[in-house]
Amino acid sequence: NDTFAGLSSVRLLSLYDNRITTITPGAFTTLVSLSTINLLSNPFNCNCHLAWLGKWLRKRRIVSGNPRCQKPFFLKEIPIQDVAIQDFTCDGNDESSCQLSPRCPEQCTCVETVVRCSNKGLRALPKGMPKDVTELYLEGNHLTAVPRELSALRHLTLIDLSNNSISMLTNYTFSNMSHLSTLILSYNRLRCIPIHAFNGLRSLRVLTLHGNDISSVPEGSFNDLTSLSHLALGTNPLHCDCSLRWLSEWVKAGYKEPGIARCSSPEPMADRLLLTTPTHRFQCKGPVDINIAAKCNACLSSPCKNNGTCTQDAVELYRCACPYSYKGKDCTVPINTCIQNPCQHGGTCHLSDSHKDGFSCSCPLGFEGQRCEINPDDCEDNDCENNATCVDGINNYVCVCPPNYTGELCDEVIDHCVPELNLCQHEAKCIPLDKGFRCECVPGYSGKLCETDNDDCVAHKCRHGAQCMDTINGYTCTCPQGFSGPFCEHPPPMVLLQTSPCDQYECQNGAQCIVVQQEPTCRCPPGFAGPRCEKLITVNFVGKDSYVELASAKVRPQANISLQVATDKDNGILLYKGDNDPLALELYQGHVRLVYDSLSSPPTTVYSVETVNDGQFHSVELVMLNQTLNLVVDKGTPKSLGKLQKQPAVGINSPLYLGGIPTST
C-alpha cells in the first residue's frame, strides 16, 4: 500500500485495462488531492479483501467510472460501490493477490512443479500450494480424507496419498483432475469404493489401491478409466462372490492387474487369484457376512447401542445420535439424564434404571406423559349444559354459553328485561320470552328495540309551502310569513302597499338600495364606493382579456405610481403605457418585471426578487425621478433601470392601462 507514496499532488490516476484483481487497503491514502480514478476493465475479485474499496468509493464520492466485480459469479458486473458490505465474503481459500504466493509451502520441498510433503505429520493440505504443481507427494501423513482443495490443482499428473489414514472416498472426488495419470492410495484404511469415486479420470494410467481393507468394488466404478494400464489391488480382503464377477472379467480382458490380487472369501474362493480364477466360480450362496456388507454402510452392523440412531460419515464411517441417557461413539456410556431437564411444564425428574431413557417425570396437575408433555383434554367428561361449547384448560375447562344462557355451566336462563340488561329504547316495555325478549313500543316509535322515531311528516298536510317539523307521534307546520292555522291554511290579510323611498333612488354598479331612518341608502358591492356606489376603488380581473383604461393625465417628470396587487397567475400585465417611449409593468414567472423602451436604444429590463403570485396582496411602486425608473415591491430594496437618456413621462394623449391592454394596441 506504499505504491503511490509521495504523490500528494496527483489529481487523476488511471489504472485502466490491467489485470488487477484486488487492491490493498490504504493504497490511495497518500493521494490526498485525488479527484478522478479510472479502474475500469480490470478483473476485480469482490471478496473480503476488497470490501474496503466499496466503502472508500462511497465515502470519497470520487469520479471512478463505476468499476465492476468480475468474481464471484453472483456479483459479476455489479458496480463495486453498490455491493453490500456483507456480500464481500471469503471461503477460506481466498488469498489477497497482492501477497505473493510462496514458491513452496513451509512444510514441503519443491523442485520446479514437483512438491514433496512426505512424512510431515500433516492432517490437511498445506496452505500456499502452487497452482501449477504437477506431482504432489503426501505419503506418510495423518490425512483421514482426500483433501477437497486438490480439486483446484488442475495440472496434477501424479498424487501419492499412500500410508495415510484415509478410510473412505466420496463420489466425484477427482472429477476435475483431467490430467491425472497416477493415483496412489495404497496402505490406507479404505473399506469401500463408491461407484463414482473415480469419475473424470480419463487420463489415469496407474491406480494403486493395495494394502487397504477393500472387500468389494461396485460394477461401473472403473467406467471412466479408459486409459488405465495398471491396477494394484493386492493385500485387500476381496470377497469374490457374484458381485465381484465383473471385476474378474474386466482384469482378464486387459490384463490390467498383474496377478497379485487374491480372494479372501467366501471359503471356497479363499487365496485364489483374481486374474486366473474362472469367472463361473464367482457365485453368491447365502447372505453376505454383515461385516463385509457394513464396509460400505457401517450402520448395517448396528454399531449404535441403546436405541441410538446411526448415520454414515465419510471420515468416521458412522455417527450415533444417542438417546437422553447415553453418550459416546456407540451410545454405550450412561449419563445423568436429569441434568438436561427433560421434564416439561415444571415436572420433576427422577433417575430410573427401569425406564428406557433412564429417567421418569413426576408431572404437575393437568399434565401427563413420559416428559409431562401432554395436556389431557378435560372436556372429554364435562358438565356444560344447553349445547354450550367446552374449552379445555390446564386441569380444568370453561363453558362458553350460547345466547340466552349464563352461569358456570350455562345452566341459568338470562332475563333480558332486568334493568341492567334491558335493551328496549324510548320507554318501550320489555317482555321476556323463552329464548330472548320482545320490545313493545310506545306510539311514534318502531323497530326491534323501538330505536326508530317514525317520520310523521311523510304524509303531512302542511299547505302554502309550510315546513313540516316531526314530533313524537305527530308533526307541526312552520308557516310562511303571514299564513296561519294548524296546516298554514289561512292566507295573510290584505294590506295596502306603501311607496318605498328607494323607488325613486338609483344605485349603480349592482348596489342594493336599503331604507335607513326613512332615507334611501346604497349598499355597495366590494370594489365600489360613493353615495350611489359610482366610484371604482378596487379592480378584479376575471376574463383573460379584461383591463381598465384610465383617462389620460399629464404626469410630471417626477411621479410615483402605486398598486396593490393580489394574484395567483405566473404571467400577465399590471400596467402599460404606449406612445413614444413604451413602459410596462408585467408579471413574469411570478415576479414583477419592469420594461422601458426609449425607441432609440435597446429596451432595458429589471426584475423583482420577490414573488407575488401567492394570492396575497402585495404593494408595487413605480418611481420616476431624475431620468431614472425604480421598481419597489413590498417596500423592499428598489430595483433601478439606471440612468436613462431622457426622463420618461405619461403625456396627455397617452392612456394608462391596468390589468391588460386592448387587442389592437
Say which CATH number the domain at 574 has: 2.60.120.200
Cα distances (angstroms) measured from residue 613 to each of 314, 565, 588, 630: 82, 9, 10, 21
Averaged over 493-497, what is the pLDDT? 50
With CA atoms as reference, report the closest residue to 265 among 244, 295, 234. Answer: 244
User: Both 519 and 598 in a single domain?
Assistant: no
Does a structural domain hold residue 610?
Answer: yes
Cβ distance 591 to 576 under 8 Å? Answer: no
Average pLDDT, the chain: 84
Position 576 confidence tier, pLDDT thresholds 50, 70, 90: confident
The tens digit of pLDDT for each residue in 339-358 reads 778 889 988 888 877 777 77
Mean pLDDT in residue range 574-587: 75
Cα–Cα distance, 472 to 275 (Å, whole number): 119
Q: Which residue has the higher pLDDT, 595 or 579?
A: 595
Selection from 317, 318, 320 nearest residue 306 by Cα = 320
CB 641 within 8 A of CB 594: yes
Q: Among 81-90, 235-244, 292-301, 351-360, which is the least confidently predicted range? A: 351-360
Burial of 243-261, coded b for 16+ CB within 10 Å and e otherwise, reads: bbbbbbebbbeeebbeeeb
C-alpha cell at 360: 421418569
CATH number, domain containing residue 329: 2.10.25.10
Q: Would residue 361 count as lying in a domain?
A: yes
Q: Residues 72-83: what's their mean pLDDT? A: 90
Q: How far apart are CA 603 and CA 580, in angstroms?
A: 13
Listed in order, strand segments (DSSP E) in 21-88 are 36-38, 44-45, 69-71
615 and 576, same domain (yes or no): yes
Question: Same structural domain for residues 594 and 641?
Answer: yes
For 445, left (φ over 0), alpha (ψ -120 to 50), or beta?
A: beta
> Does residue 627 register a pLDDT over 90?
no
More confidently predicted of 352 and 422? 422
- Rounded to whole angstroms, the Cα distance separating 287 from 300 reads 13
| Pair (650, 572) in one structural domain | yes
| Statement to judge: residues 385 and 371 lie in one domain | no
The pLDDT, as a whole number, for residue 643 is 72
| Residue 470: count of CB within 10 angstroms of its CB | 16
Q: State the pLDDT at residue 553.
A: 47
If one counts the domains in the chain, the total is 6
For residue 52, give the H/E element and its range. Answer: helix 51-60
- pLDDT higher than threshold 90 for residue 30: no
What b/e readout covers 491-530, taking b as 16+ CB neighbours within 10 angstroms?
eeeeeeeeeeebeeeebebebebeeeeeebbbebeeebee
**pLDDT number for residue 189:** 92
Interatomic CA distance for residues 408 and 399, integer angstroms: 7
Provide the pLDDT for residue 95. Answer: 56
CA 352-356-357 angle, to 5 degrees, is 70
| pLDDT for res 290 | 82
Q: Which one is predicted more confidently, 164 or 353? A: 164
628 plus 577 within the same structural domain: yes
pLDDT at 485: 79
Same domain, 579 and 645: yes
What letter does residue 291 receive in the DSSP assignment? H
pTM comes to: 0.40
Do 617 and 631 lie in one domain? The reply is: yes
Among candidate residues 309, 334, 359, the one where a domain is terminated: 334
What residue ranges in 88-151 does DSSP mark as E strands? 109-111, 114-116, 135-137
Nearest 5°: CA angle at 141, between 137 and 145? 90
pLDDT digits (tens, 9 = 90+) for 278-318: 989 999 888 888 888 888 887 887 888 888 888 887 666 78
Distance of CA 554 to the CA centre of its chain: 75
Q: Are 592 and 608 in contact (CB under 8 A)?
A: yes
595 CB burial (10 A radius; 0-12, 13-18, 19+): middle
User: How does strand 467-471 pair with strand 326-327?
Assistant: unpaired
Whole-Å CA distances, 122 to 63, 145, 187, 211, 323: 49, 12, 16, 21, 35
Encode 310-335: b = buried (16+ Cβ within 10 Å), e = exposed. beeeeeebbbbebbbbbbeebbeeee
Residue 389 shares a structural domain with residue 359: no
Residue 169 lies in a domain: no
The domain boundary, picked from 322, 353, 376, lies at 376
Predicted local confidence at residue 256, as pLDDT: 85
Is 395 inside a domain boundary?
yes
Torsion sign (Cα): 354, 355, 359, 362: negative
**pLDDT: which is higher, 316 or 609:** 609
pLDDT mean over 2-30? 86
pLDDT at 182: 96
Beta strands 114-116; 109-111: pairing state: antiparallel
Split at pLDDT 50, 70, 90, the class of 236 is very high
Domain that holds residue 402: 380-413
Report the alpha-carbon distance of residue 275 to residue 255 in Å, rounded. Answer: 8
Q: How far apart are CA 274 and CA 233, in angstroms?
A: 9
| Same-domain pairing of 525 and 562 | no
pLDDT score recorded for residue 600 = 66
Q: How many residues does the chain have?
A: 665
Q: Is residue 601 part of a domain?
A: yes
Determine the distance from the C-alpha atom of residue 251 to the mean position of all C-alpha atoms in its chain, rounded to a whole number: 61
Cell numbers at 641, concatenated: 433601470
| The most confident of 148-152, 207-211, 468-472, 590-594, by mean pLDDT | 207-211
User: What local confidence, expressed as pLDDT, does residue 207 receive?
Assistant: 94
More confident residue, 146 or 600: 146
pLDDT at 472: 77
Whether residues 652 and 561 share a domain: the answer is: yes
Window from 100-104, 439-443, 519-523 with minimum mean pLDDT:
100-104
- The answer to whether residue 545 sits within a structural domain is no
pLDDT confidence bin for 653, thresholds 50/70/90:
low
Q: Of 359, 390, 413, which closes a domain?
A: 413
* The predicted structure's pLDDT at residue 135: 95
Q: Which tens digits make up the pLDDT trace of 533-547?
A: 887 666 655 445 566
592 contacts 574 by C-beta, under 8 angstroms: yes
Does residue 555 sit in the same domain as residue 581? yes
CB neighbours of residue 224 within 10 Å: 17
Q: What is the pLDDT of residue 235?
A: 93
| Per-residue confidence (pLDDT) for residue 651, from 0 to 100 | 55
Report the DSSP beta bridge partners of residue 109: 116
Residue 483 lies in a domain: no
Judge contact between 630 and 640, C-beta under 8 A.
Answer: yes
638, 623 Cβ separation under 8 angstroms = yes
Question: Long-range contacts of range 96-99, CB-CB < 8 Å, 24 or more positions apart?
Answer: 96/22, 96/24, 96/49, 97/21, 97/22, 97/45, 98/22, 98/23, 98/24
What is the rounded CA–CA span in Å between residue 605 and residue 431? 90
290 contacts 283 by C-beta, under 8 angstroms: no
Are 241 and 263 contacting, i.e. CB atoms less than 8 angstroms apart? Answer: no
- Give a yes or no: residue 295 inside a domain: no
